[in-house]
């Protein structure tokens, strides 16, 4: 199997990254370079490692340091698992729906160096849902989570929003009211207005953009949305499905079928038949396409609203805990050693010679040097 790390290290990826520098701010571009560098050196013993020593017999063991980036296939999997388990504890015991809001291809490039626009249009969409729930059902509190996804099936830049929303909400009396239907036309028109207005405000002097927007309204170009949605009864599975797009490279490595140093071939599923389609890209384009999905440093790829946000009344919070919070056992976050023991049945911190518990002794990093935990100083 071909890996993303193998492809990046087989070419001069630094020169390829430098060729796209002009499309990003200085801080954003530096973060992209740093993220790629960390992911390439993930689990590289020569770059960074932790050493453990047995206090009785002196035996040593080493563990490579992981990068913790969401661009890394290995680290992102652990992040998604921990994140979805934690958020699932806060989901209420009511039916949810999975909705979709997309952006037409004519406008996608304007979000490339302006990911905050995703936050802006998400916040505006929240106002539309609040108005709908109140006017039609007198619901004052509902909840949904927005997931920002930036890639399509071909791993191209295709920003869109996935929503996991409660099928109903609380009235002022704090009684639950079920809602199973969201009208298509009002939401479609509102979404089109939200996106085009946010872009015009962000780029008021960009004549190219203004011409595109005028053409979109004049030619009645549609913004695809799905408010009929898919009913969700198992929130944990839904969170894992949506969450994996937040914290992994835009291409699963098992889909890469060929790499010869000059081009990369991978497959994707073409809807609606779900046929396998093979796509060959020059390696330079392939790398550019992947790194374009790295979000700016500190950018939040999810937004929580209503009863899933941290800003709702204490009275409602207590009611949710008593009557509507799912009764389920919390899933503990496992350490790296616990994961290995669960997987292989072997405790990696047990000395193989005498069976004693090993202790942390040395941290080595190619850039930052060596720190001795026994002496409590850098050496």
Quote the distance between the C-alpha of residue 234 and its chain's center: 20
333: tokens are 């976050």
Long-range contacts of 308-313 (CB under 8 A, 24+ apart): 308/90, 308/91, 308/143, 308/144, 308/145, 309/143, 312/141
Give the separation between CA 19 and CA 78, rounded to whole angstroms: 32
Looking at the chain, the whole-number percentage of residues with pLDDT higher than 70 is 93
Closest to 177 in 3D by CA, of 130, 140, 229, 230? 140
217: tokens are 């309204």
Asked if the model's pLDDT at residue 312 lies above 80, the reply is no
Region for residue 314 given its phi and psi (left: phi exceeds 0; alpha: psi -120 to 50; beta: otherwise): alpha
pLDDT digits (tens, 9 = 90+) for 204-262: 999 999 999 999 999 989 899 999 988 887 766 777 667 666 667 788 899 999 999 99
Closest to 159 in 3D by CA, of 238, 223, 208, 220? 223
Residue 331 pLDDT: 67
pLDDT digits (tens, 9 = 90+) for 20-71: 999 999 999 999 999 999 999 999 999 999 999 999 999 999 999 999 888 8
Give the separation between CA 150 and CA 131, rounded to whole angstroms: 27
Average pLDDT, integer, range 100-128: 96
Q: Which residue has the tokens 């036309």?
A: 185
Residue 322 pLDDT: 66
Give the separation between CA 153 and CA 16, rounded to whole angstroms: 23
Residue 136 pLDDT: 94
Least confident of 139-148, 256-265, 290-299, 315-324: 315-324
CB 238 within 8 A of CB 157: no
Average pLDDT, integer, range 148-152: 92
Give the strands of the sheet with 263-270, arranged side by side: 256-259, 263-270, 275-282
Buried b / exposed e across 44-57, counting CB within 10 Å, b at 16+?
eeebbbbbbbbeee
Average pLDDT, integer, range 85-103: 85
Residues 6+ positions from 345 with CB-CB distance below 8 Å: none
Residue 86 pLDDT: 76
Residue 118 pLDDT: 97
Residue 75 pLDDT: 82
- Mean confidence (pLDDT) of the chain: 89
Residue 272 pLDDT: 79
pLDDT digits (tens, 9 = 90+) for 320-362: 766 666 655 666 778 889 888 888 898 999 998 898 999 999 9
pLDDT digits (tens, 9 = 90+) for 168-177: 998 888 888 9
């Amino acid at each position: 199997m071909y890996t993303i790390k193998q492809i990046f290290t087989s070419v001069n990826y630094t020169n390829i990254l430098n060729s796209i520098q002009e499309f990003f701010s200085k801080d954003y571009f530096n973060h992209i370079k740093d993220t790629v560098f960390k992911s390439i050196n993930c689990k590289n013993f020569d770059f960074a490692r932790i050493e453990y020593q047995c206090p009785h017999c002196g035996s040593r063991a080493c563990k490579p340091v992981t990068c913790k980036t969401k661009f890394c296939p290995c680290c992102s999997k652990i992040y998604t698992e921990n994140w979805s388990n934690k958020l699932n504890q806060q989901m209420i015991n009511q039916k949810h729906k999975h909705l979709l809001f997309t952006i037409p291809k004519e406008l996608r490039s304007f979000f490339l160096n302006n990911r905050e626009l995703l936050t802006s249009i998400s916040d505006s969409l929240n106002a539309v849902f609040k108005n709908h729930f109140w006017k039609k059902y007198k619901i004052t509190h509902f909840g949904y989570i927005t997931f920002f996804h930036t890639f399509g099936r071909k791993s191209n830049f295709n920003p869109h929003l996935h929503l996991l929303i409660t099928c109903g909400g609380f009235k002022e009396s704090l009684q639950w009211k079920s809602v199973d239907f969201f009208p298509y036309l009002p939401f479609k028109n509102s979404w089109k207005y939200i996106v085009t207005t946010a872009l015009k405000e962000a780029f008021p002097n960009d004549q190219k953009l203004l011409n595109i927007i005028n053409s979109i309204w004049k030619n009645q170009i549609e913004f695809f949305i799905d408010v009929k949605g898919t009913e969700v009864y198992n929130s944990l599975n839904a969170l894992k499905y949506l969450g994996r797009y937040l914290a992994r490279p835009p291409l699963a490595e098992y889909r890469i079928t060929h790499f010869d140093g000059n081009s990369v071939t991978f497959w994707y599923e073409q809807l609606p038949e779900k046929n396998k389609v093979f796509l060959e890209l020059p390696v330079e384009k392939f790398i550019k396409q992947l790194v374009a999905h790295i979000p700016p440093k500190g950018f939040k790829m999810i937004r929580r609203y209503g009863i899933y946000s941290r800003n709702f009344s204490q009275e409602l919070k207590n009611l949710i805990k008593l009557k509507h919070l799912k009764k389920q056992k919390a899933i503990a976050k496992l350490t790296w050693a616990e994961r290995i023991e669960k997987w292989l049945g072997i405790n990696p911190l047990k000395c193989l010679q005498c069976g004693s518990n090993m202790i942390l002794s040395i941290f080595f990093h190619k850039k930052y040097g060596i720190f001795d935990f026994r002496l409590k100083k850098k050496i």
